[in-house]
Structure 1
Amino acid sequence: MTVSALPEAIDLSHHLSSLARHRFPSPLKDIFKQMQREGIISMAGGLPHPSLFPFVDASVSVYPPSADLSGPTPSAADRMSLNFQKYPSDKGAIDLSTILQYGQCEGLLPLRKWLHKFTLDVYEPGYSNFEILLHEGNTSGWTKVVRLLAEPNDFILCEEFTFPSAMAVWVPMGCKAVPIKLDGQGMRADHLEEVLANWETTHPGMKRPHIMYIVPVGSNPTGSTMQAERRKEIYEICARYDIIIAEDDPYTALQYPEFDVSAPSAEVVHQSGEEFAKSLVPSFLRYDRDGRVIRLESFSKVISPGARLGYFVCNPVFAERLLRATEVESQTPSGWSQGIILSLLETWGQSGYLTWLSRLRDTYQTRRDGLCAAIASSFTALPARDYAAGVPGAEGIALYHKGTDPASIKPDQRPIATFVPPTGGMFLWISFSLSLAPRFRQLVAEGAQDPEKTFMDEFWEALAENLVLLTPGSYYLPWEGVDKLTTSARGAPSGIGYLRFAFSYEEPAVMAEGIKRFQQVVSKMFDA
């Protein structure tokens, strides 16, 4: 793909925070530029001399991109080697003297070029002058975005359930969430439009939100993946109301087909790297004609989290201000991480990297399928549209106690729980009908301040006592202020509780045992 026919990003500098506007370039930047001049004698920069680095050479063994990740560790004979020397004879090689030295805060130029081409080919941005800037992982990247755009006491648009660490950045600034309702695809465009159109009425005298934080693939915690048409709708709404979209997308490669509860053991269909790339739901970048999307990419979920390496894709104005922050906050990601990942990507090539991502996706899909199948076999699992059609908000798969006769279920009979099988990421989100739990009904009768929270805390403790650890749903409630801490104060539906299950770490057989323990606790705490 070429960029010659695409427009340039529009001027969005009015979104910059006061902090971002007042950043100035590091005074050392000019010195580093001059040091590149041939023949110059530098007594300016305090750079350690490479001869005094204790590392002489290094070698890293890696899997080939087509390695089978579903079984035992691939044999040593199938591995590839990445080799690094301090002073290599090959002038184009990645050398330790460079990657272990102070470097450009943008990140290694060859790595940024590689990622620029990958972004152009795979994500097909809608404007021409996008830039790549490396960061230390998406948590660090989002922190820089908040400082780039947000002022104290701003409102930030986000999903109805959102990543806790994302909130932790802006809560100390006095910022508050504006939660947008979800369905099986993630954020609802109709509710976003409603909130923004009525802002002056519902929030008189308050500045309308101009930042959106969204995890569109494998949403953490719900596991939903937003499809193309929905993304177009949301982008157009954001363009109309002049909103910047922070697209936090570490799970973009982990997109799965829908899980079929009637065929839980369906075989995963492998794809080539090229087929895999074409199968991905487009990034918000595809529709971004203005340059209003700041995409946060990370190698944490597809290479390793310990690498602490990711990158921004954004317009030049935002990239320049993010760079100013990077110069004084973190300088540059680890040279080891940049060097190793650059060497890996160059060795594999773009086609090989896509093949790796495809195989990785297949492995996580198998784990997703294993968890869903284990839940379905431990309960009576039925399509919610057929058996819980009269229950508000019921989507996906409805769970009843094991042995329940489907013919005996009435249309308005509440299931114990419902879940939408994940179509991306690493998590499964279950919603529980708490009115079916005697202890919850007791808490309501006693006038507990927040019976939903109290019951779910007790439920979580009971699960832990039975040696199965899950994540409480309360962790993912967006912060709206101290006056909206209880279920009723937030205006959330009463009698509903949530838990998040992760399928990324344990093998399917181990997860099946975990679900067995989960079912034992459910059978004790919920009515038959």
Structure 2
Amino acid sequence: MGSLHPAEKPKAIDLSHHLNNLSRSRHPSPLKDILKYMVQPGMISLAGGLPHPSLFPFESLHTRAYAPDSNLAPGETKHGVVDIHIPQTSASTSNIAIALQYGPGTGCSPNLVSFLREFTARVMQPAYADYEILIHSGNTDGWNKIVNLLCEFGDYILVEAHTYPSAQALWAPMGCKGAPIAMDGDGLLVEDLRRVLANWETDHPGVRRPKLLYVVPVGQNPTGSTMTFERKQAVYALCVEYDIIICEDDPYYFLQLPAYAPPASRKQESQQDEQALLASLVPSFLNLDYQGRVIRLETFSKTLGPGNRLGYFVCNPIFAERLLRATEVTTQTPSGWSQAILAELLSAWGQSGYLTWLRNLRDSYAIRRDWMCDLLAERFDLENSPVPTEGVLAFAKGHGSRADRKQLFSFVQPKAGMFLWLKLNLIGNPEYERLRAAAGPNVEAQWNEAFWMQMIEAKVLLTPGSYYTPWEGRDPSPNRRKEEGVTYFRLTFAFESHEEMRLGIDRMARTFELSWNLVA
């Protein structure tokens, strides 16, 4: 569907029955109506309480940005700059008078919205014609607005078995609960999603079936998994069958990495042209969405900096109009500074230049991913798991060929994003076996907390996997499959230098060896 000419694509179907009571009750802000009349030629406004732009204490903004083809490889000198100049007033470019003024909830920079609409059509290729672009203040803000668009108090939300904690911290106070869907190395499992939906009335008598799926399909946080296109197709088909809205939270979309290869077999990849880059990306859910049931959350946080606090929705017109009503009375228009700066930067780079920047950014994260996988291979004995979706198995260094070896953990070499997910095998760990013999409650949680503190004492900080456990209420579903003898930790390869990463992996390995009594 995504490759059709826009004139051949269907329009979004009517999904207004998904709107919650709060969203249905919103009315346009009458004060925002004034703004559209104020810009009419010849209009003399004695209505709006807008401060006069001559009283803003900024005459102009001049900043320098990297050129889109700059070398972003770690340790390399970045070459080339682009000068960005934003005057106080201007008829043809972004200007301070507009950027710092009250503005419409759609965004105060028509140039930025126009750029993003062209970029969406070019890269994402939505399968329906009448999608809308609406600026928001980053994906956290966007997800907040989606929850307040679709969810009633006490609703269940379909989530991955390991899900982003801030996303659920938002809806937990509403009495909402997560319905976790099992995952493997390629993301959520279609068969488990089908099982949960097909058995909902039996497993949750009298409880409304979830109508919203929250998913991070690329470089998933925390597991680093990336869904294949075939799996996305199957998930979308199920969501059509059961009338589910998909929130596609996709901050790592352009950090889709080439497959990991050991240093000895690693080849220097030649620079890709634009078409090769786009062909290497797993298509978005938007590319499958011929009904308008996907709300895509886009953000500049991972590509141009989280402090910009800027992103955008791609969604059907009904949802966009309701999201706009909410924006008018909550955040109002996102930061005018950010909109003006990014509008001018992206205009200077152009569509192809932005894609070049994203390609170079991806290549830089691929180097960092390789660092971490290389260092794990140096510090542990690794072998491929017989189950491909489990990736590789890790043993203490020098123990990989021993008959009494103990598997410490497994992980999947990330194909996207910033994270590597360790699945620890606690069977045979002395302290875990002692706790299990004592038959105390929450044995895995007790062990996990103690081991985490041991790593902190060793001056290496990982994120406990327990942070990403879906909230199912105080009494989790009896159908939830508890993993005995298993716990998780998340590592990131995004931030530290190679030497700092090496030191951190060394400290982590030493902590494993001490905990498993494997010190020579």
Distance 1:116 1:519, change over 3 A: same
Is 1:7 the counterpart of 2:10? The answer is yes
Q: What residue number does 2:271 align with? A: 270
Which consecutive residues of structure 1, in runs of 5 or more, have no partner in the other structure? none
Q: What residue number does 1:106 align with? A: 106
Separation of aligned partners in 1, 2:476 and 2:252: 30
SS where residue 327 of structure 1 aligns? Answer: helix
| Alignment partner of 1:22 out of 20, 25, 28 | 25
What is the root-mean-square deviation in Å for CA atoms of aligned residues? 1.8
Deviates more, 1:508-517 or 1:59-68: 508-517
Is 1:32 the counterpart of 2:35? The answer is yes
Decide whether the 8 Å contact of 1:63 with 1:74 is kept in 2: no
Deviation at 1:278, TM superposition (A): 2.0
TM-score (structure 2 length as normaliser): 0.96
Identity %: 47
Deviation at 1:481, TM superposition (A): 0.7
| Alignment partner of 2:398 out of 395, 398, 403 | 403
Separation of aligned partners in 1, 2:303 and 2:464: 26
SS where residue 253 of structure 1 aligns? Answer: helix
Is 1:364 the counterpart of 2:365? The answer is yes
| Per-residue CA distance 1:479-519 (angstroms, 9 max, x = gap) | 0011239xx99532100010000110012222111100000
SS where residue 80 of structure 1 aligns? Answer: strand
Letter matched to residue 471 of structure 2: W
Letter matched to residue 271 of structure 1: Q
Alignment of 1:111-260 (within 5 A): 111-260=112-261
Decide whether the 8 Å contact of 1:155 with 1:178 is kept in 2: yes
Which structure has the higher relative contact order (CA within 8 Å, separation 6+)?
A: 2
Q: What residue number does 2:86 align with? A: 84
Distance 1:409 1:272, change over 3 A: farther
Distance 1:425 1:405, change over 3 A: closer
Which consecutive residues of structure 2, in runs of 5 or more, have no partner in the other structure? none
Deviation at 1:431, TM superposition (A): 0.5
Separation of aligned partners in 2, 1:274 and 1:243: 33
Is 1:420 the counterpart of 2:422? The answer is no
Deviation at 1:61, TM superposition (A): 0.5
| Alignment partner of 1:519 out of 470, 490, 509 | 509
Letter matched to residue 456 of structure 1: N
Q: What residue number does 2:490 align with? A: 500
Deviation at 1:28, TM superposition (A): 1.1
Distance 1:264 1:152, change over 3 A: farther
Separation of aligned partners in 1, 2:473 and 2:506: 38
Separation of aligned partners in 1, 2:468 and 2:450: 18
Decide whether the 8 Å contact of 2:138 with 2:309 is kept in 1: yes
SS where residue 129 of structure 1 aligns? Answer: coil
Deviation at 1:405, TM superposition (A): 4.3
Deviation at 1:263, TM superposition (A): 4.4
Decide whether the 8 Å contact of 2:159 with 2:180 is kept in 1: yes
Q: What residue number does 2:72 align with? A: 69
Decide whether the 8 Å contact of 2:156 with 2:210 is kept in 1: yes
How many residue pairs get matched? 514
SS where residue 170 of structure 1 aligns? Answer: helix
Letter matched to residue 514 of structure 1: G
Separation of aligned partners in 2, 1:73 and 1:47: 47
Separation of aligned partners in 1, 2:145 and 2:397: 49
Distance 1:270 1:453, change over 3 A: farther
Separation of aligned partners in 1, 2:122 and 2:433: 55
Letter matched to residue 452 of structure 1: E
Deviation at 1:87, TM superposition (A): 2.2
TM-score (structure 1 length as normaliser): 0.94
Decide whether the 8 Å contact of 1:273 with 1:357 is kept in 2: no
Separation of aligned partners in 2, 1:181 and 1:270: 37
Decide whether the 8 Å contact of 1:178 with 1:480 is kept in 2: yes
SS where residue 383 of structure 2 aligns? Answer: strand
Q: What residue number does 1:460 align with? A: 452
Deviates more, 1:50-59 or 1:66-75: 66-75
Letter matched to residue 346 of structure 2: L
Distance 1:348 1:262, change over 3 A: closer
Separation of aligned partners in 2, 1:147 and 1:264: 50
Deviation at 1:316, TM superposition (A): 0.2
| Alignment partner of 1:441 out of 395, 419, 433 | 433
| Per-residue CA distance 1:141-178 (angstroms, 9 max, x = gap) | 00000000000111100100000000011100111101
Letter matched to residue 92 of structure 2: G
